Chain A
Amino acid sequence: MTADQAAHARARAQGPLRLGPGAPAPAGMTRLSGPDSSGMALPVWPDGVTPSLLEEHQVPPMPVERAGETRRVLAAVLKCCWADHSADPWPGEPAPLERVLDTYRALIGRTDDLMRNWAIGALRRLHDSAWVVVAGGIVSLGPRCALWPVESHAVLKDLVRRIPEPERRAVPVVPDAGLVAAALPEPAAPDQGAGSRAEPGVAEFDDLLSGYDERRRAELVSAFMVVEHAAEPVQEARFAALRDPALRRTLAEMLARRGRTLVQQRERWISGYADDLVRDEPPGGGPGESERAVLTLVLVHSVAIPRAEGLLPEDSWLSPHPAPVDELRRHTQLPIGELESALRALRHAGLVTQVKAGEEAGGYVPGPQFHRLTPEARRRLQEELILAAGPDTPLAVAVRARRAAR
């Protein structure tokens, strides 16, 4: 297990990595340096592609919750924070939250409270996924905005021009710049303000890819992007690098450098965390305690119980049987408020999927992330559930005995 593998796994599990002053970014990551030379590291993709490549191949990416609304709010943030169009959008200038909300209001032409709540919800999701940074009533562009390729900046410039200026209902008592200055700590946070810059990452796959002609190389990169970002396993017939065993081997090696491994489901493939990495150097982070508790409840109701009743034959942690919302609300030890906010976070991370059926009916099933469990992880999850639900059963004894023997 190399440091780079562990770093990539951490970035995938926790989001952008913090780097100490002067610390270089791991291979395959871009370094976003603050004015004081400390910074952040974010994985970049081979040959300058982005996950929008999935669209070209008509492979659905991980679903984005309330995608339209979220992206409109991001557009409003961009309008407020990207002041100098001759420079890159990131890092841009911080802007007060109220100005962002006013801009969003002008963009969609609605002024009610509901709109404000939606916008705040979208900002929270964007903050959680590092697209914006919201702190103390001040909004700035998040580190992921540095990943927009330079070629696409023209689209963004045009977009920002088209967004109407918000009508200010009254001249603010304190000008925006003053508000921002008052809210920001001194000196400015490392990911904000002047002096920040993005440094391109060190290419990490060139030794693997250089032996291939242009077409093969593109096929490998496509397959890499698709297995890393698709919502579901993809058919091997559709991608040469999955079909051809030799190319697949190279693909597996590319993934391994990022602490990843190929997960096969019949003729379909996706990627997951490598088992030895999870065992030896777990990246940490991930969902909090109440989120994990709620996720366990969803797994019990939508997978374990249907399987005990013989309704779910496959070796999978996905399920068509939703855990009823009512069951989660009324018949568990979790307070409703905690349950709701945990479900929101789990939904956003693709760990649960909401199944709607009428006002009160419907429920939750395990989300697309469960496609990414390796066979080893699937077995371990099952054992952990058995150990937790029936610690005195012979089955639990057998599990413990086998683990001790290993």
Chain B
Amino acid sequence: MRVPEQPLTLDAALSDEAVLSTYRRMFAALARDSGAVVDDPVLVDIAETLFAAFADAGEEWLTHEQMRLACGAYPADQFDNRLRVLKGLGAIREVFPKPNQLRYRASFTSVVGLMFIRRMMDDGGQSEMHRLLALEDLNVADPRTTMEEARQSAAGLARAFRLWALELITLTTGTIEELREQAPKLWGTEEIARRAQSVHGTILTRWPELDRVCTDLRAAIYAYSDASRRAAGRLADSAGTTRNLTLLPTETWRTFAQTATKERLAAVLDGFVFDAPAPWHDPAAIARAVDEAPRPAPAQPTPPRSTLPDPGPDGSLGAAREAAVERLRELAESLLGGESRVALADVLGPDWATARRVLADLTTVDLRPELPYRLAWSDGLTIDPSREPSWLSHGHLERTP
């Protein structure tokens, strides 16, 4: 540890400690333990889940159990580790600092820090730069701003743009894969360069003495715009025709499709030549189409229906196997009517549709060994065109002992 050269006063120590504790809290969400930064994004997710739970809890704050419950999706050891670190760094603290405290509260600074970090991770700080520039623009226009503050602001911006440009230049000369991955996060839009120039313009108009610093800033902005364009150009050249469309984010495409006017959409295809519709209708194909014309369907007669009462299949479907057997037994008994043997010609019914059903049922009866009925066929055949069925094999339904 470095020993301060000046004697440490109590006030100085206190203010140092205040700054340090803010820093620690800001990066608490990223710390693996009190001394290092996390290496697993899940650990950040735990912190975020916890902060969300705290926000929902309001002034009730949270107990240890409630915190565990909120993070139920994560393994217990990860949760404990995270809570220890967050507590150690002051991102989560006891509501009242006294022993055996059960309720905890979350630090506002840590939540804001986490939001900031998430955004930085998403777009490499572009939106932060936008905000920063907007704020600087307001600041330098504020009558209370001093020249010294403006100088610092201009110098700070110049440094940021230089570093930004340097990083892009390094990427542009590196591998194409790295460039493809990183560049869209780094290169700025025209908008950023415009805003920076507006800040520059305001400073220079108000304080012509700051000419030197402003020249620096101007150079840095140009360097940055140039590096952006160079990186985009190299990517566009190397990527050929396939990859370029990946370089605009999906959201940009959606916004374009949803908001563009008809004229703007149509202008994309100006100067492209397409074929007029010119299908070929060959005489043979025309003749084939005429032959295949759908013919009006003739009216179809309704299929014949049985005269036996037919409640439909709803009762038999899904019923127990025994029910089916029982129905067959009842049918056989009703046909036999107490006799031990009846001629089929007498029981088949008046028309073919009924006869067909009865015959089908009797055949089933015959094929079931557990039922005591059999069909016995003989060689005789009656042919009578006037009755139904006209062709009738001779046979008997018999009760077996």
> Chain A residues in contact with chain B, CB under 8 A?
9, 12-15, 50-52, 55, 61-62, 64, 67-72, 74-75, 78, 107-110, 125, 128-131, 144, 148, 152-153, 155-156, 158-159, 162-163, 229, 273, 278, 282-283, 285-287, 289-290, 292-297, 299-301, 303-305, 307-310, 313-315, 327, 331-334, 338, 348-351, 369, 372, 375, 377-386, 388-390, 392-395, 397-399, 401-402
Contact = CB atoms under 8 A, between A and B. Distances in A.
Contact of A155 (B187, B246, B283): B283
Interface of B: 187-191, 228-229, 231-233, 235-236, 240-242, 244-250, 252-290, 292-296
A68 B245 CA distance: 40
| Residue of A50, A305, A309, A349 ringed by the most chain B CB atoms within 10 A | A305
Contacts of B250: 305, 308-309
Contacts of B189: 392-394
A401 B290 CA distance: 58
B242 A313 contact: yes
B290 A71 contact: yes
Given A67-B289, A293-B265, 16 more contacts: A15-B278, A50-B282, A61-B279, A68-B289, A70-B281, A71-B290, A72-B286, A75-B289, A282-B271, A293-B262, A307-B246, A308-B253, A332-B257, A349-B277, A388-B265, A395-B244
B263 to A, nearest CB: 7
A74 B246 contact: no
Among all A-B residue pairs, the 10 with the closest Cβ atoms: A71-B289, A394-B232, A293-B265, A51-B280, A389-B256, A292-B266, A109-B296, A52-B282, A152-B283, A398-B232
B59 to A, nearest CB: 43
A381 B274 CA distance: 13
A379 B241 contact: yes
Contact of B276 (A51, A285, A380): A285
B144 to A, nearest CB: 34
A52 B287 contact: no
A282 B273 contact: yes
Given A9-B273, A13-B276, A308 B249 contact: yes
28 contacts: A12-B278, A52-B284, A61-B280, A62-B278, A74-B281, A108-B294, A110-B296, A129-B276, A159-B283, A278-B271, A283-B273, A286-B272, A292-B266, A297-B257, A308-B249, A315-B242, A332-B257, A338-B262, A375-B241, A380-B272, A388-B267, A389-B256, A390-B256, A394-B188, A397-B229, A398-B235, A399-B236, A401-B229
B335 to A, nearest CB: 50
A327 B256 CA distance: 13
Contacts of A381: 268-269, 272
A397 B278 CA distance: 39
A80 to B, nearest CB: 14
Interface centre among B241, B254, B279 (most CB of A within 10 A): B279
Nearest to B227: A394
Contacts of B293: 68, 72, 107-108
Contacts of A292: 265-266, 268-270
Nearest to A111: B296
A51 B250 CA distance: 42
Nearest to A285: B276
B126 to A, nearest CB: 12
B191 A392 contact: yes
A287 B202 CA distance: 50
A190 B107 CA distance: 87
A162 B290 contact: yes
A9 B246 CA distance: 34
**B249, B250, B278: residue with the most chain A Cβ atoms closer than 10 Å:** B278
Contact of A331 (B245, B257, B290): B257
A103 B275 CA distance: 32
Most A CB contacts (10 A, CB to CB) among B231, B247, B260, B275 go to B275
B34 to A, nearest CB: 40
A50 B189 CA distance: 55
A75 B260 CA distance: 44
Contacts of A300: 253, 256-257
Contacts of B276: 12-15, 129, 285-286, 349
A260 to B, nearest CB: 11
B241 A315 contact: yes
B247 A395 contact: yes
A50 B278 CA distance: 13
Contacts of A350: 275, 277
A290 B280 CA distance: 26
Contacts of A398: 229, 232-233, 235-236
Contacts of B254: 305
A13 B274 contact: yes
A348 B252 CA distance: 30
Nearest to A377: B272
A162 B262 CA distance: 49
Contacts of A71: 281, 285-286, 288-290
Nearest to A162: B290
A273 B232 contact: no
B69 to A, nearest CB: 36
B13 to A, nearest CB: 49
Of A163, A287, A351, A386, most buried by chain B (CB within 10 Å of CB) is A386
B32 to A, nearest CB: 31
Contacts of A74: 281, 286
Contacts of B284: 52, 152, 155
A163 B290 contact: yes
A389 B275 contact: no
A271 to B, nearest CB: 10
